[in-house]
Amino acid sequence: PAPFPPDALGPNIDKMTMEIHHNKHHGGYANNLNKAISANAPQLDGKPLEQVLASNCAAVPEKARTAVRNNAGGHANHSVFWKIMSPDGGGEPGGELREAINDTFGSFAELKAEINDAGAKRFGSGWSWLVWDGTGLAVYSTANQDSPHMQSDVPVLGIDVWEHAYYLKYQNKRPAYLEAWWNVVNWPEVERRFAAAKSG
């Protein structure tokens, strides 16, 4: 279940988008992941997602690799996404995360501009990320449901830029969705993820 009711992120994320996104899209990734694992990679049953995704899914048998990459990525990415949004969200990061952002990007405004830019420029479907790469923070975009875990980075914050995340309310205006998304970002959870990633 999502950590909030489907209408809780309004007006930034509308109720119907939340219902379809959480129940149908994320639900579909989870179901299809389970099917692919049980049919073609039962040895991965119960393994942590990070481990399944590591090194471009090196542990996954080739006949299951595309299905597992897409659906384990989708499951991992959305599992982060719901938690880093909140009806009480918005504002600016604090604590050690704020200091790290200032050191790396100059300011929170600069970080936000970089993440929005990476998301707006993603051609087709994908994500825009703030990650911990083992030594510092970085911003990049991934295509489709590719996860930062595939290259051993830890997602600290990620914005879904698939059309299914915004099209009902924002239609073709992806930059408007990206701007509005920051009104629901759950900074305490993002700060917690940063601290956990940094301490390994």
What x/- string results for residues 105 through 144 when contact with Mn ion is judged by CB under 5 A? ----------------------------------------
Q: Single out the segment in contact with Mn ion by CB under 5 A; choices: 55-63, 83-91, 118-126, 154-162.
A: 154-162
> Which residues within the stretch 8-47 sit at the binding site for Mn ion (CB under 5 A)?
25
Which residues, 6 or more positions from 76, have their beta carbon under 8 angstroms from its beta carbon? 49, 50, 53, 147, 149, 155
**Of 25 and 65, which CB lies nearer to Mn ion in the complex structure?**
25
Q: Is 160 in the site for Mn ion (CB under 5 A)?
A: yes
Q: Is 146 in the site for Mn ion (CB under 5 A)?
A: no
Q: Is 189 in the site for Mn ion (CB under 5 A)?
A: no
Q: Shortest gap between Cβ of 78 and Mn ion (angstroms)?
A: 6
**Of 13 and 131, which CB lies nearer to Mn ion in the complex structure?**
13
Q: Shortest gap between Cβ of 41 and Mn ion (angstroms)?
A: 23
**CB neighbours (10 Å) of residue 196?**
12
Q: Shortest gap between Cβ of 111 and Mn ion (angstroms)?
A: 22
**Of 81 and 194, which CB lies nearer to Mn ion in the complex structure?**
81
Residue 61 tokens read as 């048998």
- Bin 55: left if φ > 0, else alpha if -120 < ψ < 50, else beta: left
Helix (H) or strand (E) holding 128: strand 126-132
Instruction: Name the β-bridge partners of 159.
Output: 128
Rounded Cα–Cα distance for residues 181 and 82 (Å): 12
Q: Is 73 helix (H, G, I), strand (E, B) or coil?
A: helix
Amino acid found at 138: A
**Of 75 and 112, which CB lies nearer to Mn ion in the complex structure?**
75
Residue nearest Mn ion, CB atom distance: 160
Contact 101/108 with Cβ under 8 angstroms? yes
Query: Residues interacting with Mn ion, by CB under 5 A?
Result: 25, 160, 162
